Each structure stands twice: as C-alpha cells, then as structure tokens.
Amino acid sequence: MSDVPAAPEQSNTRWQRTLEVLSVVGPPLTVVTALLVYFGWARTDAQAKAMGLDVSLFGYTVQDFMLRSIQSLFQPLAWLVVIGLLWLMLDRAVARLLEFPGQRRWVQVTATVVLFLAFAYAAVMWIAVTTRPGQAVLYAPFLIAAGLVVGTWGLRVRRRAAGPSAQAPRATKGTLEGWLVFVLVTLLLFWGTSDYAQALGRGAAVDYQERSHLLPTAVVYSKERLAVTVPNVKEESAGSEAAPLYRYTGLRLLVVSGGRIFLLNDGWSLERGRVVVLPDNGSVRVEYGNPASD
C-alpha cells in the first residue's frame, strides 16, 4: 500500500492550532520579558545614579538587563509563593469549618472583623505613602497589597458563611470586584518590586564602596599619557624616549560593557570617588589580576 498524503484540511488545522498556541503564549512571554528588562534597568539605573553615572554609559543589552533582574525578582517571587501556599492551607481549613452549620456564625463574625481590619490597614498605609513619600517604608506597596488581598478574602469568606442564597445575587458584582482587586494588587506588586530593585541597585553601589578592594586589580598600559588624576592612581614610565609607554596602577575593574572599560580607583567612595572610563578598542592594554594577590 502506498502512503496517503495528509489532506489539505488536516494541514490547515495543524497550522491553525499552532497559531492559536503562539497567540496564547506569545503575549505572556512578551510581558514577562518586558518586566524582566524593566526591573533590571531600574536596579542598574539606581546603582549608576548612586555612583554619579548614567545607565546609558554602560551600553547594556536587553539580555544584560534581564540577567540583572533575577536578583530583584527572586526574593519577592519566593515570598509570594510561600504566602500563597499558606493562604491555600488557611482557606481549606476555613472551608472545612463551613461544613459544620454551628461554626458558620463564628466564621462570619471573624471574617467581618478581618476584612475591616485589613481594608483599614491598607487605607492607612496608602495615606502614609502618598502624604510622606520620602519617608515611606520600602515594602509599603507589598503591605498595601497584602491588606487588600486579606480584606477581599475576608469578604468572600463572609459571603460563603452567609450561605448560597446570599451569594447568588452578588455573583456578577463579586466577579467585577475580583478583577478590580486583581488589577490594583498587580500594580502594587509592580510598584513594590520596582522600589525593591532600586534599593538593590543603591545597595550595590554602597557595596562597591565597602568592598572595592575585592574587585580584580587592573594595570593599564598606554602609548600616550592618559592624564588620569583620580586619587591613589600612579603613573609610571615603562618605555623609552623612542617608544614611550605609560603604566597606571591603583585601579580596579568595575565592568567591561558597551565597548568601554570602567575602572575604580583604590579606596573609591561614593562621595569623592570617580570612575575611569577607557575605550575597549585596543588603544590601551589592561592586565587584570586576582585581588588576593595584592
């Protein structure tokens, strides 16, 4: 028997299914990629500003920003998963209590107290953040989001405790409330993660100040004088009159990116330190060493 080729209708169906999968998967991947790039940029931008630089000087690529965002997202996502698991356990325990008619009244009263306290807490935190933004707590957006989530959960538990007859008229209204809370909580999580990423960037700049001696050493050789005037950097002649060569010591490697070499001087500080930027085009030669060998 000869092989029968697939019918055109079957091929079209396969392509349609493939396009449907791509249309579903594509937008979430685009959103995730955009978020990774943004949080990586926010962290790097805060670090650059703390060091007296602009993030555009580094010439980072999209991949660089994505890699730098991992540290900004790991801890918030880990806490989100842990809290989600604890919430599921608590919600199942409440559901088991609702199976006993004698416990419904107690659960309803408790849920009412929880929802009022949670919404009041979220409102107070929101007022504190908006009226005094310069003195706001770092995790304030996360705390506001937690208050909204707990309050909404308390409201739903209260409705479940009231019985099916009380839930039916509120079905459409509850769905709208759920979407509005979801959007607001998502925005708060975005805000909080952005603040957290910027805090990490500023912390990285302070870390360079405290641990610059742990960065790789860098010795720069150049045929022309570079006129480096930053503190603790020494210029020495390593050539002759016929073939001049200048050597610069007392430098530490910060990063090589965007066709540039970024160097810090020994004893670099946020207040008085400056960053030496050299072209990475072969006009200078740089020897890197292990800081432990000093």
- The DSSP code sequence of 91-160 is HHHHHHHHTSHHHHHHHHHHHHHHHHHHHHHHHHHHHHHHH-GGG--TTHHHHHHHHHHHHHHHHHHHHH
Mean of the per-residue pLDDT values of the chain:
83
Give long-range contacts, CB 8 A cutoff, 24+ apart: 120-124: 121/147, 122/146, 122/147, 122/148, 122/151, 123/147
Strand partners for 277? 262
Comparing 13-22, 34-43, 118-127, 180-189, which segment has the lowest mean pLDDT? 13-22
Residue 294 has pLDDT above 70, yes or no: no
Q: Which carries the bigger pLDDT value, residue 264 or residue 213?
A: 264
Residue 286 has pLDDT above 70, yes or no: yes
What one-letter code names the amino acid at 8? P
Tokens of 187: 């925005």
Position 136 scores a pLDDT of 62
Whole-angstrom distance, CA of residue 3 vs CA of residue 21: 29
Average pLDDT over residues 279-283: 88
Q: Which carries the bigger pLDDT value, residue 4 or residue 254?
A: 254
Residue 215 has pLDDT above 70, yes or no: yes
Average pLDDT over residues 267-290: 87
Give the tens place of pLDDT for each residue, 223-251.
Answer: 988 888 888 889 898 878 788 899 999 99
Nearest alpha-carbon partner for 107 in 117, 99, 98: 98
Sorting pLDDT into bands at 50, 70 and 90, what band is 22?
very low
Nearest alpha-carbon partner for 265 in 281, 254, 280, 255: 254
Residue matched to tokens 């392509």 = 15
Backbone region of residue 101 per phi and psi (left: phi > 0; alpha: psi in -120 to 50; beta: other values): alpha
Position 217 scores a pLDDT of 92
Position 165 scores a pLDDT of 57
Sorting pLDDT into bands at 50, 70 and 90, what band is 1?
very low
Position 27 scores a pLDDT of 64
From residue 210, give the alpha-carbon distance in Å to each of 142, 214, 267, 269: 30, 9, 9, 8
Nearest alpha-carbon partner for 185 in 212, 210, 153, 214: 153
Position 17 scores a pLDDT of 60
